[in-house]
Structure 1
Amino acid sequence: MDTEALRSFVLAAELRQMQHAADELGVTQQAVSKRIAGLERELGVRLFVRTARGVEPTLDGQAFLPHARGIVAGVDRAVTAIRPGSRALRIDVLGLRTAQAVVLHEYWRSRPGTELDVVTLRVDDPHVVAAAVQAGEVDAAFRGVTDPATLPGEVRMIHAFDSPLELLVGPRHPLAAERAVTPDRLRGLPIRVPGIAPRSEWGVFYDQLATEFDLRIDAAGPNFGNEVLADALAESADLATLVGARDRYLWPAQHDLRRIPIVNPALVYPLSLLLPRTNPHPGLRAVIEHFASLPPLTGPAWLPSWARNRATG
């Protein structure tokens, strides 16, 4: 089976655009489409359906995706295992538009030639990710365990950096013209945050946040992605969501969405890094130093319970 065809399929499935997959691979969209068509012929199934936004995996494509992703990851690990010189530093992030990926990109741009492999494990439970760190599948992962005592003995958790939340609303929202808002002004407003998963650190975070400030945070129903959420915000006169200040989201210009800082106190999501307790990858030191160089929080801030007394573990 052609591993480059598998790689093209995985990227197209994750990015939902053949052109985006082609851009990532440095080839033409026609080349990506040809590879995937060959893979479909070999498997005897359709892997994608066309949509107005790009492509979506079929049911067969969804079933095939985790296996294809595992094959591609295995090939990559095999190649890096015999690559001359230092193996690339492999770090797991929750998504390529998150603050984690944005800050890692800033670090990489500041150090030309750095070997860095940014991956997404697509796992909600941070304990599963900790096991991947312990097993050496990744060198570090941007995940937090709300009870550090439950970490494997060979894995430690350190504070990476803080991500203040912002309110994201459409132009007809009652707070759309505000330059900043305080948490008390969010009470009673419908706040949609799709993708809050059981056993995830962000699930605990939003539970504590909603309780502390009496917020109506709705995570019910399927998660159709950021594009669908942006459409809903643009059309609504009262719906809002919460995003990290460094998160990179895109939406059509006509949506006219507004990002509004939340202050007094700032609502802060603490980003942590899981890494081996012994013999960590030598490239991690410079990454951690980069985190330490980021501007600190100013003004009053609210943090979830597990971040109020920080320790390096």
Structure 2
Amino acid sequence: MDLDTVRTFVAAAEAGQFQEAATELAVTQQAVSKRIAALERGLGVRLFTRTPRGAALTIDGQAFLPHARELLRVAERAVASVRAGRRPLRVDVLTSRSAQSGLMRGFHRVHPDVELDVLTLFDIDTAVAAIRSGAIDASFRAVAAPGRPLPEDIESVRVLDEPLDLLTGPGHVLAGARSVTLAQLAGHRIWMPGVVPGTEWTAYYDDLVAGFGLDIEVTGPNFGSDALLDTIADTPALATFMGGRTRLIWPADHGLRRIPVTDPTPVYPHSLLWHRDNPHPALTTLRAHLAAATAGHDAVGTWRPGWVLPR
């Protein structure tokens, strides 16, 4: 149904005269008459009858009027849902407990007026496709893994280098250490079932393994962080890596230990990705907030893969 004819019908019904409706809509009276006639033909009913004072709704016109008004309201809501600045800023984070999610919580505290829609996508290819299609406005990712350069229309900036901790149960041989070096981890079993071939985080850990001779096991299904924590707590021979700013809660009797890794400290490089033509004003606000809120890039004594993009 043509919305211009519906809008003209509502204007004429509320004004009671075609001439007043024409003035309100900035068209001629003849245009109003043609639009009403076209709408009546499409509906197969008369909507108005002429009166000495102008035009009055017929019974069919009275029945159609509330639905016509609702059509216009729905159309306005549809336009508002995609109008820059009127819809939520859609941002992808890796998990709800990650440092990326923490960055967005910090942004929300500083800018509570910005409406957000935070979601989780699986890998960088999915995220980039969503950015290019307009499904999301931005994504936090580690870029760019070897052989996977970003498309030319995707911009990125590194926003956070997150140190890795070693997570062990109480019975692990390193559980009492205040810190451990990467060299000390050689020969220890580090279990990370969430490492999936083809993802950017797998590229990161592949380089970490190659550079320091670590043993990372990815066997078994990934049942989520709770199952991982249960297994680490109950298995003295296993440890895992955990982002230093990843928020986790576990039962007190687990006795888990978060141990800083040093000499060098491996850091996971979080970058923000967005489309260079994205007009959402809150995206600029988010980028400015992240530029001011994060620091520590390329600090002395840290390690990251050579393919990580510069800040």
CA distance in 1, matches of 2:180, 2:83: 51
Q: Alignment partner of 1:175: what SS? A: coil
Q: Tell me the equivalent position of 2:305.
A: 304
Unaligned runs of 5+ in 1: 1-76
Question: How far does the alpha carbon of each residue in 1:239-269 deviate from its partner, in whole angstroms, 9 at most, with x for none?
Answer: 1000101111121111010111111211011
Q: Does 1:261 find its partner at 2:233?
A: no
Q: Tell me the equivalent position of 1:284.
A: 283
Q: Tell me the equivalent position of 1:111.
A: 111
Q: Tell me the equivalent position of 2:154.
A: 155
CA distance in 1, matches of 2:148, 2:279: 20
Q: Is the 8 A contact 1:91 1:117 kept in 2?
A: yes
Q: Tell me the equivalent position of 1:135.
A: 133
Kindly report which structure 2 residues correspond to 1:191-270, keeping only aligned pairs within 5 A, or say none: 191-270=190-269
Distance 1:164 1:78, change over 3 A: farther
CA distance in 1, matches of 2:233, 2:146: 38
Q: Alignment partner of 1:243: what SS? A: strand
Q: Alignment partner of 2:248: what SS? A: coil
Unaligned runs of 5+ in 2: 1-76
Q: Is the 8 A contact 1:148 1:157 kept in 2?
A: no
Question: How far does the alpha carbon of each residue in 1:97-133 deviate from its partner, in whole angstroms, 9 at most, with x for none?
Answer: 1110011111211222221111112x23x12321110
Question: How far does the alpha carbon of each residue in 1:175-210 deviate from its partner, in whole angstroms, 9 at most, with x for none?
Answer: 111111111110100000111112110010010001
Distance 1:127 1:226, change over 3 A: same
CA distance in 1, matches of 2:168, 2:221: 20
TM-score by length of 1: 0.69
Alpha-carbon RMSD = 2.2
Q: Is the 8 A contact 1:170 1:240 kept in 2?
A: yes
Aligned residue identity for 2:139: A
Number of residue pairs matched by the alignment:
232
Aligned residue identity for 1:310: P
Q: Alignment partner of 1:118: what SS? A: strand
CA distance in 2, matches of 1:165, 1:200: 18
CA distance in 2, matches of 1:140, 1:80: 20
Of 294-303 and 81-90, more deviation after overlay is shown by 81-90
- Structure 1 runs of 4+ aligned residues shifted over 3 Å read 77-80, 82-85, 147-150
Query: How far does residue 148 in structure 1 lie from its aligned partner after superposition?
Result: 8.0
Q: Is the 8 A contact 1:264 1:299 kept in 2?
A: no
Q: Alignment partner of 1:151: what SS? A: coil
Aligned residue identity for 2:94: L
Q: Alignment partner of 1:184: what SS? A: helix
CA distance in 1, matches of 2:224, 2:183: 28
Aligned residue identity for 1:198: P
Distance 1:79 1:228, change over 3 A: farther
Distance 1:183 1:231, change over 3 A: same
Q: Does 1:92 find its partner at 2:101?
A: no
CA distance in 2, matches of 1:285, 1:84: 12
CA distance in 2, matches of 1:145, 1:101: 20
Query: How far does residue 233 in structure 1 lie from its aligned partner after superposition?
Result: 1.2
Q: Does 1:120 find its partner at 2:117?
A: no
Aligned residue identity for 1:129: A
